[in-house]
Amino acid sequence: EIVLTQSPATLSLSPGDRATLSCRASQSVGSHLIWYQQKLGQAPRLLIDDASNRATGIPDRFSGSGSGTDFTLTISSLEPEDFAVYYCQQRTSWPLTFGGGTKVE
């Protein structure tokens, strides 16, 4: 099973700040790394597919990068609605696994 480790667990920032979230895989996942945003009481929302491809309707302040075992989600300038929990997920192999999440507060 591929283990995904997200850091930091919590990121304390202000609107307008740049947010940098990390996801590290226990073995290579190539580019098959996905990012989601989840707000309190809501279902997750797909942000980034295959490491760097923004999903439909996702603002360009969200960007993803990385390959192999190290990945980054960057929010260039935080908007009030961006404060949420962010999860990474790998689709390289079964079982599909998620990271533990990073809370941006």
Partner 1 sequence: EVQLLESGGNLVQPGGSLRLSCAASGFTFSNYPMSWVRQAPGKGLDWVSTISGNDDRVFYADSVKGRFTISRDNSKNTLYVEMNSLRADDTAVYYCARRTISWGGFDIWGQGTMVTVSS
Tell me which residues touch partner 1 (CB under 8 A). Answer: 34, 36, 38, 43-46, 49-50, 55-56, 87, 89, 91, 94-101
Structure tokens at 81: 């609605």
Length of the chain: 105
Closest to partner 1 by CB, 17 or 98 = 98
CB of 100 to partner 1, least distance (A): 5
CB of 43 to partner 1, least distance (A): 4
Q: Is 68 helix (H, G, I), strand (E, B) or coil?
A: coil
Indicate left, alpha or beta for 61 from its phi (over 0: left) and psi (-120 to 50: alpha): alpha
